[in-house]
Chains A and B, each alone.
Chain A
């Protein structure tokens, strides 16, 4: 029952009219560029875009620099075992040598305060995130997702289509990872759907990020997102150095 409700909700958000696929490629919005978060602002996502979220969706108010403290999950309904795991979470493990350069998966990573570049063709959209040097491919050539048992990854497998002037991206095969960076993890069966829309002057990019993971949550989650276009900028190499963790461990040795 829960699974079928989630599938219906995702279908509503995905809404792929035939007219959208028939749209002339040259008339499609151009999302190319360097996009950065407008810090310390509530995302000004258009109301009609927000209204496309399915019902029973908790909108998380942790976009950008703000993070939830321990024990706060923004209205997400955690299954008992998920909550128990979150309560046992040991944050010091995030500073271990084996973890410090482990990139979070796309559900959390895409909404953080780091910029990204979009490179766009008719059949493929590439999103390069500065955060942990992650690259994401959004296939626009009509292919489907791979089999359920195909390898999972932090960026997952994304397929996209145009719905009028909105880019709709459906992502599966995402590795289990954090949702809120405070002990709440999703499973590898999470599904994420995003809708992107350019602002009228082409200098702003708005999005809604929706996700459902019946393995860990009893409702769906979403975020509203907004980025500014910055001409002439490009993402820098991140090249995470795990030896940073040794510095943190060194503190105890000075007690």
Chain B
């Protein structure tokens, strides 16, 4: 199992507020009080409902590659926030943040994603105000 402590460039912050409704229960699956940040190489990006998904390869402190999955809001929501099917491309380096899975698995719910130059993908963060 991948542990948060092993993640390179990871940060932990207290996030005040509830988070977004999903087809499955956000409150049950994710810890709405924490945000973690991950920087890595995109392996794949799927853009289908009920959730988009970014598979990100992240190097841990020992240089070992760890595969994380980041579930996004439904692409119908992403589309209205400026995302497109090719907004994230395999092979590129991105930085993402979001709410970690409560069960400790390498799985998070995406709050934001940035390109290597620091530019945010889409027009706004996904947070407690989103579907």
Contact = CB atoms under 8 A, between A and B. Distances in A.
Interface residues on B, range: 20 to 34
Interface stretch (A23-31, A75-83, A246-254): A246-254
Contact of A181 (B2, B21, B106): B21
Chain A contact residues: helix, strand, loop or mixed: loop
B130 A113 contact: yes
B103 to A, nearest CB: 9
Nearest to A100: B50
Interface stretch (A164-172, A217-225, A236-244): A236-244
Interface string A86-103: 000001001100001100
Nearest to A180: B25
Given A39-B131, A40-B129, A65 B21 contact: yes
Interface stretch (A3-11, A46-54, A66-74, A196-204): A66-74
B40 to A, nearest CB: 14
B105 interface: yes
B27 A182 contact: yes
Interface in B82-124: 105-107
Given A244-B50, A254-B106, A67 B79 contact: no
A205 interface: no
Interface of B: 1-2, 18-21, 23-29, 46, 48-51, 53, 55, 67, 69, 74, 76-77, 79, 105-107, 128-131
Contacts of B2: 254-255
Contacts of A104: 23
Contacts of A65: 18-21, 128-131
A151 to B, nearest CB: 24
Nearest to A239: B49
